[in-house]
Amino acid sequence: MTQTNDVTEANDLGESTWSLARPNTARSLILAALGALIGLIIAGVGLFTAQGTRTASVPPEDVAVVNGVPILRVDYIAQLSALSDVSLAQATAEQKRKVLDDMVAEELSVQRGVELGMPVDDTETRTALVAAMRGQLATDVLATVPTPQDLKRYYDKHRAQYASEGRMTLHWYVLPADAQAKAAAAVAALRGGTPLDQVVGTYGLRSTGKVDDGEEYYFAAALHLGPRLFDAARNLATGKVSDPLPGPEGISILVIVNNQPPVAQSFTDALDRVREDSARDRLAAVEAANARFLRSRADVLVAADFQ
């Protein structure tokens, strides 16, 4: 009887001990798992914030990071100034974007050259490497000879650029904005055959001096006159006088001494230029496609203020 009681007490004691041990064991496993998880989080934070590792942000001294290689702001500003002759504050968004895209494309070309086994360790080598990559693309383009039909389609699409350069000789006079009646009388006198010098003296016309250097090409006349007045001038034949043209400078009167509009070239006459222009545009298209391909497989991070 005593032995039976002893066994029962022993069993009760074992079960009690096991009941106490089970929660302690579970709690230990949970704490161990939490410790491991915290360790992994700390390790991950250290990995992605360590110097030289790829992150989701751009360091303040850089404008972009291309596959881990930084493009420094100081280099970007220098190239922007060299190419556009403007400061960072003066540059337009388009100018900034073009310089950044060019620098990213250059870095991608250099990295592609390195992939192909070409060493790069200084500025001259980088320049030569980019030129070599462009040369390879140019070789591929030039190896493809366009058909006469291709060239004719290109000519038809860009017909306006295959013409002789127009030339123009004119005078540009102005009167105050409130002298509408005087301007109308001056135009009527010029159209009626009154000598120019006499009209200038009688009505007090003032020359702007911007087109008084004699004959100039259309593009120069467009720069001097501005788009609005140039459109009026090029549609006037030799010897004609414009209507009074109000504008910021006052009332303008254009006197056309000579106007030689551009003369279109035939496809045959323009064929050599068509070949050159077609090849240039095809090369530009291939370079743009290559840059898009390299960028699509690259990790490019751009600073927030340059996006």
Positions in the chain short of pLDDT 70: 1-56, 117-126, 128-129, 132-133
pLDDT at 291: 81
pLDDT at 59: 84
| Same-domain status, 131 and 174 | no
| Same-domain status, 152 and 291 | yes
pLDDT at 49: 43
User: Helix 73-84 crosses helix 93-115 at what angle (to 10 degrees)?
Assistant: 120
- Which helix (H) or strand (E) segment holds residue 188: the answer is helix 180-191
Could you tell me which residues are beta bridge partners of residue 171? 255
CB contact at 8 A, 282 and 143: no
Give per-residue pLDDT as tens, 53-95: 445 678 888 888 888 888 888 888 888 888 888 888 888 888 8
Task: Using alpha carbons, list the distances in angstroms from residue 263 to 40, 44, 108, 249, 275.
Answer: 75, 70, 44, 32, 20
Structure tokens at 26: 């579970």
Structure tokens at 18: 């096991």
pTM metric for this prediction: 0.47
Phi (first) and psi of residue 202, to 5 degrees: -65, -45
Residues in the chain: 307
| Same-domain status, 103 and 222 | no
User: Which range marks the domain in which residue 230 is found?
Assistant: 164-260
CATH number at residue 184: 3.10.50.40
| Same-domain status, 69 and 136 | yes
Task: Please give the share of the chain, as a percent, with pLDDT higher than 90.
Answer: 38
| Same-domain status, 121 and 105 | yes
pLDDT at 19: 47
pLDDT at 138: 74
pLDDT at 235: 94
Phi (first) and psi of residue 136, to 5 degrees: -65, -40
- Smallest Cα–Cα separation from 295: which of 27, 105, 30, 62? 105
Give per-residue pLDDT as tens, 8-41: 444 444 444 444 445 556 556 565 555 555 555 5
Structure tokens at 267: 């496809």
